[in-house]
Amino acid sequence: MAVMTYLEAIRETLRQELRRDDRIIVYGEDVGVRGGVFRVTEGLQAEFGEQRVIDSPLAEAAIIGTAIGAAVNGLRPVPEIQFSDFIFPAINQIVQEAARIRYRSNGTFGVPMVIRAPFGGGVHGALYHSQSVEAFFAHVPGLKVVIPSTPYDAKGLLAAAIQDEDPVLYFEHKAAYRSLKGDVPDERYLIPIGKADLKRPGKHVSIITYGLMVSYALKAAETLDKEGISVEILDLRSIRPLDVEAILDTAKKTGKVLMVHEDNLTGGIGGEVSALIAEHALFYLDAPIVRLAGPDVPAMPYSPPLEHAFMVTPEKITEAARKLAKF
């Protein structure tokens, strides 16, 4: 057991996995000599060589397209897209190819591949280094999408994603890389994809969220606890597949649901979660479902006041949960 940052947990998991299975390869822009622009893959090329930790040309469709071919041909590729904002040139390969290959071949071919991509804002990244893109992919059957919220989960979800026989998108919040620290066991362990985690039991309001927002929600819950408002927090961990049972359980328990994500409001995961609750647990609700999300503007601006205005913060979560508790 060691205390690690979120970033170190990802790096050490990659190292452990590369040691465990020589079919695993890591590649992307700058992941080799430089160890990635965030240093996530630092030291891996030195240990595993250029054949397994590959500096690729700057071309996202080629990175993902070749990873698909390598996966079909027996490797377990873990390609990195340097920023999730730059995943779009590869969307044809991810959605039309990786997601559909098992289905279109009637189960003959599969694509065991993990696409890692840093996402999220609040880091002065502006429009094209701040985006949350998970909802685009959560819409697609054939893909799995996981977003860890702690160093512990970062390890267990990454190992599970690499072990998975299907394509998994693994989104890492950039603001979490160095700000989140926690205990991470040395041994390998898997966190099942599709299982949510009840981070904090509560009685009055349920906050359903994922990724960096989990830690923000925990801060909000502490504040509200002092006011006598008991907040339950469900960390989705996977946004496809969703843990429907856990979502309905918490909705039924508190009767008040606040859905939180940094991704844009419209078409975000909050809409899907809300629909599930409306379909299956409507008469347990004591208040309308509330969605707190990134605003419906095209992307996050650079200038600090504008960036701050976009971001979902612990304060905004506190305010929304307080209001809902009093409904």
Partner 1 sequence: MAGSDALYGLGLDTTKIETMYYYMVLSRALDERMWILNRQGKSAFVISCQGQEGAQVGVASALDPTVDWVAPYYRDLGVVLYFGMTPREIMLGQMAKAEDPSSGGRQMPAHYGHKKRHVLTGSSPVATQVAHAAGMALAFKIRSEAAVVMTSLGEGSTNQGEFHEALNFAAVHRLPLIVVVENNGFAISVPQSKEMVVADVAAKASGYGMPGIVVRGSDPLGVHQATSEARNRALKGEGPTLIEIKTYRYTPHSSDDDDRSYKTREQLQAEKDDDAIVLFRQWMLDQKMWDDEREKALNQRVRNEVDDATDYAEAAPYPDPATLWEHVYHS
Show the CA angle centred on residue 316, arms to residues 314 and 321, nearest 5°: 95
- From residue 110 to residue 129, the character string flagging contacts with partner 1 as x (rule: CB under 8 A) and all else as - is x-------------------
Residue from 129, 173, 204, 261 carrying the catalytic annotation: 129
- Does position 104 interact with partner 1 (CB under 8 A)? The reply is yes
- From residue 140 to residue 179, the character string flagging contacts with partner 1 as x (rule: CB under 8 A) and all else as - is -xx-x-------------------xxx-------------
- Does position 32 interact with partner 1 (CB under 8 A)? The reply is no
Burial grade of 102 (CB within 10 A; 0-12, 13-18, 19 or more):
middle
Name the residue nearer to partner 1 (CB basis): 95 or 276.
Answer: 95
Select from 46-54, 130-138, 255-263, 292-300 the region that touches partner 1 (CB under 8 A): 46-54
Q: Which residues pair with 290 in a beta bridge?
A: 258
Burial grade of 3 (CB within 10 A; 0-12, 13-18, 19 or more):
exposed
Rg of the chain over Cα atoms, rounded to whole angstroms, equals 19
Q: Which amino acid is at 46?
A: A
Peptide bond into 241 cis (omega under 30): yes
Select from 136-144, 198-206, 294-302, 315-323 the region that touches partner 1 (CB under 8 A): 136-144
- Does position 109 interact with partner 1 (CB under 8 A)? The reply is yes
Residue with tokens 């591949």: 113
Number of Cβ within a 10 Å radius of residue 16: 17
Where do contacts with partner 1 occur on this chain (CB under 8 A)? 25, 51-52, 54, 56-57, 59, 61-62, 64-75, 77, 89, 92-93, 96-97, 100-110, 141-142, 144, 164-166
